[in-house]
Amino acid sequence: MNGLSKDSASQLAIGEESAGQRIDNFLCRTLKGVPKSHVYRILRSGEVRLNGKRVGPEARLAAGDRVRVPPIRTASPGAPRRLPASAAPPIVYEDEALLVVDKPSGLAVHGGSGIAHGLIETLRATRPGAGFLELVHRLDRETSGLLVVAKKRPALTALHAALREGRVAKRYLVLVRGRWRDEKRTVRLALHKFATTSGERRVRVDEEGGREAVTVFHRRQVWRDRAPPLALLEAELHTGRTHQIRVHLTSLGFPLAGDDKYGDFAWNRELAKAGLKRMFLHAWRLAFDHPLTGAPIALESPLPPDLAGFLAALDGPAA
């Protein structure tokens, strides 16, 4: 790949390692020190050309493509940002094609919107020699648990196909308010993404204009005699829509504990006083076939101490 010039337009040749990547993600990785907002501005203005043509941020690259990048003044590069391996979240599985991390609550999966470094930037900084590290899927910032990162482009492509085709089993643990009675309940409610006037991303149930969303809830434990009654559920995703579990639960009248977007805000304040200071949503189990070898992989992440401790208190003498 040719180098970038801050004084004249640059022509970047796309190699096999970048084939299949979206052009916005490619530019964000290539243009070190350039804010994402500027990357999207030069894409919208047409200053970036793919094989001589204007393209949108969703355009996919192919080996042999040429990307024209306009003159850009970047921050002084200095030495590459490096972090010790201990700065990365715990790795629960790794091989030559992928790795799976146990993401803590409060860590965004990628930088942006005022966040300098997210999980993927931290992984790259702790592994400066890695040629390829890309998120396979995402978790909300406050959600903890298992997250897959691809180390090779073929693995990323294969895992994306597996997700689209429903061949990745994802299960979450959630705590909700209400008298949950069903041992198993399938929820089919279409969801529609929209932006608020402040630009915040939100989701609502919309059977007419929304996209199909299916969640199967399994009852794990109930506290019917508490005020309010509570239930620990296992949520099995059959589709992967934004905020799917949270919106489905709220629409059923069972708000998710600690949910600051769709939950019960007054109840959340009471939960915080009782010790639950985050959303009770944990990605605890993943099962899929290895993207390159086909070998079955099944991984689990126990509840983190803050969530496990809160549940233990529900069963204690003070409950």
pLDDT in tens, 177-219: 999 999 999 999 999 988 887 778 899 999 998 999 999 999 9
Closest by alpha carbon to 56, among 39, 70, 72?
A: 39
pLDDT score of 21: 84
The DSSP line for the chain is -PPP-SSS-EEEEP-GGGTT-BHHHHHHHHSTT--HHHHHHHHHTT-SEETTEE--TTPBP-TT-EEEE---PPPP--SPP---GGGSPPEEEE-SSEEEEEEPTT--SS-BTTBS--HHHHHHHH-TT-S--EESS---TT-EEEEEEESSHHHHHHHHHHHHTT-SEEEEEEEEES----SEEEEE--EEEEE-TT--EEEEE-TTTSBP-EEEEEEEEEETTSSS-EEEEEEEESS--TTHHHHHHHHHT-PBTT-TTTS-HHHHHHHHHTT--S--EEEEEEEEE-TTT--EEEEE-PPPHHHHHHHHHHHSTT-
pLDDT of residue 302: 96
- Let me know whether 153 and 171 are in one domain: no
In a domain, 219, yes or no: yes
**77 assigned to some structural domain:** no
> Is 93 among the domain residues?
yes
Whether the upstream peptide bond of residue 70 has omega within 30° of 0, thus cis, is no
* Same domain, residue pair 142 and 197: no
Residue 269 placed within a domain:
yes
Measured distance CA(5)–CA(70) in Å, rounded = 9
Please give the tally of structural domains in the chain. Answer: 3
Give the span between the Cα atoms of 311 and 155, in whole angstroms: 37
CB 104 within 8 A of CB 88: no
- CA–CA separation, 191 vs 205, rounded Å? 5
From the candidates 95, 140, 264, 315, give the one annotated as an active-site residue. Answer: 140
Residue 74 has a pLDDT of: 54
* Structural domain includes residue 252: yes
User: Residue 80: inside a domain, yes or no?
Assistant: no
CATH number at residue 25: 3.10.290.10
Question: C-alpha 253: how far from its chain's center?
Answer: 25
pLDDT of residue 277: 93
**Range of 272's domain?**
166-314
pLDDT of residue 3: 52
Cα of first residue to Cα of last residue in the chain, in angstroms, is 62
User: At 138, which CATH number?
Assistant: 3.30.2350.10
Q: What is the pTM of this model?
A: 0.76
Which pLDDT belongs to residue 139?
Answer: 94
> Does the active-site annotation cover 289?
no
Residues 43, 57 contacting (CB under 8 angstroms): yes
Q: Which residues of the chain have pLDDT under 70?
A: 1-8, 33, 73-86, 111-116, 316-319
